[in-house]
């Protein structure tokens, strides 16, 4: 049975927390991570930075989702656990599904570089 506990914050604060977490993740992951990957991956540049960014974003999403699940298990009301589960699940799902695409773009850039070197030698 789920134990009844005092809510971490009220529903008005939940709106602010949800807006802050959601917009923060949206700006950072979507506004910075997307352009980074879109411009650098096809060129084969800054692989450690871009892949590290995506892995960090994935980890943050998983952590947020786990905090939300822990809040649910601890008996927190909907407005508390949902503001962690929703952005966490979205972040983990999006970055987790885009990471293979980014890695493929780097592999394609490496292949083009190898083919260009082979062409220069012949």
Please, how many CA atoms are within 13 Å of residue 92, restricted to the half-sphere of its CB? 14
> To which residue do tokens 């692989």 refer?
47
Tell me: the pLDDT tens digits for 26-80? 898 889 999 999 999 999 999 999 999 999 999 999 999 999 999 999 999 999 9
Mapping DSSP onto H, E and C, the string for 69-106 reads: HHHHHCCCCHHHHHHHHHHHHHHHHHHHHHHHHHHHHH
Which of 21, 19, 46 has the alpha carbon at shortest distance from 35?
46
The mean-pLDDT minimum among 1-5, 88-92, 103-107, 112-116 falls in 1-5
Tell me: the pLDDT tens digits for 101-115? 999 999 999 999 999
pTM reported for the whole predicted model: 0.85
């Amino acid at each position: 049975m789920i134990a009844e506990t005092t809510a971490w914050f009220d529903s008005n604060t939940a709106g602010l927390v949800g807006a802050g977490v959601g917009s923060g993740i949206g700006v950072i992951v979507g506004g910075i991570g997307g352009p980074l990957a879109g411009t650098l991956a096809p060129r084969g540049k800054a692989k450690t930075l871009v892949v590290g960014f995506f892995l960090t974003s994935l980890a943050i999403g998983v952590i947020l989702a786990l905090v939300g699940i822990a809040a649910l298990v601890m008996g927190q009301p909907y407005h508390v656990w949902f503001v962690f589960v929703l952005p966490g699940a979205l972040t983990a799902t999006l970055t987790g599904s885009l990471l293979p695409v980014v890695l493929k773009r780097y592999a394609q850039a490496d292949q083009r570089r190898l083919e260009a070197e082979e062409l220069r030698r012949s």
